[in-house]
Amino acid sequence: MIIPEDNYITYSLLAIILAVSLYAIAYKKAFQALILHPASVIHKKEYYRIFSSVLVHNNTAHLAINILMLYVYCSGLEESGPHPRRLTLALTIISSLLMGHLASLFIYRKDMTYSSAGASGVAIGCMCSYLILHPLENHVSLPFADNIPNIYSAVGYLMIILLYTKKFNKGEIDYGIHVGGGLGGAATSIIIHPKMITDII
């Protein structure tokens, strides 16, 4: 299989997340060592968890949802984002990760038992970045619904998240990571490509 040259950041990210997540799902000690645990970050200075927690997921359903979102929106930014495309994607990933996880650390800084895992913040950040840069274009196509505008695919993803949260996570979703990640991705697009925002307005 030949990996498209324009997508090497996306495919590399997905491969790393998939490999580490499957390993951590199988070996719980690895999972516990890598998750975002605010108490460990703040009191034990285990700062690596801010980054490593993106690579692990609670279960295969959680992993599948985030892999799908990352594939759709990271590849969208890498293939058709405004130049510099790869710089936009890389900065979106970094800013979404940092803003999402720092928001979660602040919110749960006094909760000794709280922990979270997953690349949801990065996925939401890439989605927000892509929507700002391509709000009415079509990036997702399905056999039964061809050419879905980006805004509707984002709504569909949010519905999947809500259903997943209600059924599997009992409503306990880390909104700090989601909101912070989304703001990080949106801010990156606006800062790097302000002209595109004024054109839309």
Rg (CA), the chain: 17
Q: Which residues of the chain have pLDDT under 50?
A: 1-3, 170-171
At 1 the pLDDT is 40
Compute the distance between CA of residue 176 and CA of residue 96 in angstroms, rounded to an integer: 11
Parent domain of 48: 5-200
Note the pLDDT of residue 95.
95
- Structure token pair of residue 82: 């405004």
Which pLDDT value is given to residue 32? 94
**Three-class SS of residue 74?**
helix
Q: What is the pLDDT of residue 10?
A: 92
CATH of the domain at 175: 1.20.1540.10
Digit-coded pLDDT (tens) for 183-193: 898 888 888 87
- Three-state secondary structure call for residue 139: strand
Query: How many separate domains does the chain show?
Result: 1
pLDDT of residue 157: 63
d(CA 86, CA 177): 23
- Which pLDDT tens digit goes with each residue over 68-115? 989 988 988 888 766 778 888 999 999 999 999 998 899 888 888 888
Q: Which of 71, 64, 45, 60 is nearest to 140 (CA)?
A: 71
Partner residues linked to 20 by β-bridges: none
